[in-house]
Amino acid sequence: MAETRNGQPDAYQLILEAMDTGIFRPGDRLVESELAERFGVSRTPIREALQRLETQSMLTRDGRSLMVASLDHNQLAELYVVRAELEGLAARLAARHATAEEVRVLRAMVEEDRALLGDPGALARANRRFHKQIHLASHNRYLVQQLDLVHRFMALLATTSLAVEGRGEKALAEHGAIVSAIEAGDGTAAHDALKYHISMAYETRLMAVAGQVGRGD
């Protein structure tokens, strides 16, 4: 459980985590008293957390109620443009700075995640861990901070592109190509492989939004 420095539950992080794991989805109303009861904290830190999330555009106001925000078509496009550039940079830096141990962890993730095919929710969570590991392997704290912000907004996507039939297998193949480039120390190939992976995820999501499914990738 996320905690503040004094050991108390961190209401802001708790709400964020609930959004990230799909407990709270776009359009859901967040009620102060209900959140306080759910997380076992007083209403004051909940109120402060909600105000902070509203300021960050993670929540939107409907009259007196606060709801989890959703992204329109243009916002989705803008998010993926920024994500592709930052993720590509992370892969390029990882090819330069990742340790042998970090590369082995990435490779193990790709292999282990094959067992999750058929479970889009679990695969989406594994996907987030994989991308986070690449961010950390870049060994650039400022880039990691910016990517954390980008991935926070990914929580505003109601579903996962990994739920689209066949996308899971393709995504893991793309992950494998990214790891191979990082392992070879080829920054350009790692950058291109990661940007291609994001492009395919975006295309899948657009197709889903246009008529089928469309969080995690």
Structure-block tokens of residue 193: 């492989």
Residue 101, pLDDT score: 98
* Its pTM surpasses 0.85: no
Residue 153, Cβ neighbours under 10 Å: how many?
Answer: 19
Structure-block tokens of residue 140: 């650039």
Where are the CATH 1.10.10.10 domain residues in the chain?
A: 11-68
Residue 174, pLDDT score: 97
Q: What is the mean pLDDT of residues 57-74?
A: 90
53 with 135: CB under 8 angstroms? no
Q: What is the mean pLDDT of the chain?
A: 90
Give the CATH number of domain 73-211; options: 3.20.130.10, 2.40.100.10, 1.20.120.530, 3.90.1150.200: 1.20.120.530
Where are the CATH 1.20.120.530 domain residues in the chain?
A: 73-211
How do residues 173-184 score in pLDDT, each as one tens digit? Answer: 999 999 999 999
Residue 30 gets which letter from DSSP? E
Alpha helices (runs of H) in 73-162, residue ranges in sequence order: 73-97, 100-113, 120-137, 141-154
Residue 213, pLDDT score: 44
Q: Could you tell me what percent of the chain has a pLDDT over 70?
A: 92
Please give the CATH topology (third level) of the domain spanning 11-68: Arc Repressor Mutant, subunit A (1.10.10)
Residue 214, pLDDT score: 42
Q: How confident is the model at residue 4 (pLDDT cuts 50, 70, 90)?
A: low
Residue length of the chain: 217
Residue 162 gets which letter from DSSP? G
pLDDT at 50 over 80: yes
